[in-house]
Structure 1
Amino acid sequence: MTEHPQHPPSVLTYTSTHDFDTTIARLKAVLERAGAVVFADVDQRDAAALAGLELRRTRLLMFGNPKAGTPVMAANPHAALELPLRLVVWEDEEGRVQVDYRDVAQTLGPLYGIAPDLLVPLQRVAELLRATVQ
């Protein structure tokens, strides 16, 4: 992992060994193979351009598996603020592709009181993402 500006400890940053577009394609493919649905792919650079602003290449993917997320939201409706899961792919100043993922398995238990057994499927996501980009 590379050092970047401040972020919460639950945000994991992985440096991809692939170019930007390949990283996005690999992430989408592995998520779908793992049973997740990619609900949205937001090009935040394009959105910035619409407002007349510039932003480095930045894409937000919203994804999840209803079999994993539904029991969490049923246990605590407020936990829906953390779901679906999100990751951001962005280019740093040196042109390296970074992947940020907020590991909700670290926050749903202590912040929302979600039972550990409900978090097991979500705990696998961070390693899946790391292995996909390296």
Structure 2
Amino acid sequence: MRDASGMITVPGSRSFHDTVERVCAGVTSAGYHVFARVDHAGNAVEAGMDLPPTVLVLFGKPDVGTELMQDRRTAGVDLPSKILVWEDERGAVRMTYTSAQWLADRHGLGEAGTAAARTLGLVAERICEQAA
């Protein structure tokens, strides 16, 4: 599901934990590096608050990210790439990532940057499909 904000959300069919693990494995098998997993729900607990399971996976590949930033340095604000794995109010697992077109439009990317954004978008799409 795409929306006007440039986010694409994919439904998952596995457990939350399995989905996070499969996203990370998909990143690695695609030749990218997992830079970090941010456990937003765990951080909420530390703050004395409640949040359903929510993990942000940050990933990238220097040659792809550098192409984006060589085209438009401001693209660095959206790097590394991210996939948010989260549970909705009914307990269904979802994965959300940024669309390539939104990234290209947001930064006014030229041909090379748009091609790199498409690469990132396809990688995120494949990872989410495999993790679902």
Band the TM-score falls in, shorter-chain normalisation: 0.7 to 0.9
User: Partners of 1:83 and 1:22 in 2: how far apart?
Assistant: 25
Question: Are the aligned partners of 2:101 and 2:118 in contact in 1 as well (CA < 8 Å)?
Answer: no
Counterpart position of 1:106: 101
Q: CA offset at residue 66 of structure 1? A: 1.1
Partner of 2:115: 117
Aligned partners of 1:113 and 1:100: how far apart in 2? 22
Counterpart of 1:57 in structure 2 is 53
Secondary structure of 1:41's counterpart equals strand
Q: Which amino acid aligns with 2:51?
A: L
| Structure 2: runs of 5 or more not aligned | none
Instruction: Report sequence identity in percent.
Output: 34
Cα distance in 2 for partners of 1:72, 1:60 equals 21
Secondary structure, aligned partner of 1:124: helix
Q: What are the equivalent positions in structure 2 for 1:65-76 lying under 5 Å apart?
A: 65-76=61-72
Alignment RMSD (CA, Å): 1.8
CA distance in 1, matches of 2:47, 2:12: 29
Q: Which residue of 1 aligns with 2:90?
A: 94
Q: TM-score, normalised by structure 2?
A: 0.87
The aligned residue for residue 24 of structure 1 is 20
Q: Could you tell me which of 6, 21, 24 is aligned with 1:10?
A: 6
Is this contact kept in 2: 1:36–1:65, CA < 8 A?
A: yes
How many residues align? The count is: 129
Cα distance between partner residues in 2 of 1:92 and 1:110 = 29
Shift of 1:107: 2.3
Give the TM-score taking structure 1 as reference length.
0.86
Partner of residue 46, structure 1: 42
* Distance in 2 of aligned mates of 1:79 and 1:14: 24
Task: Answer whether contact 2:83 2:124 (CA < 8 A) is retained.
Answer: no
Distance 1:117 1:43 in 2: 31
Asked if structure 2 preserves the Cα contact closer than 8 Å seen for 1:14 and 1:133, the reply is no
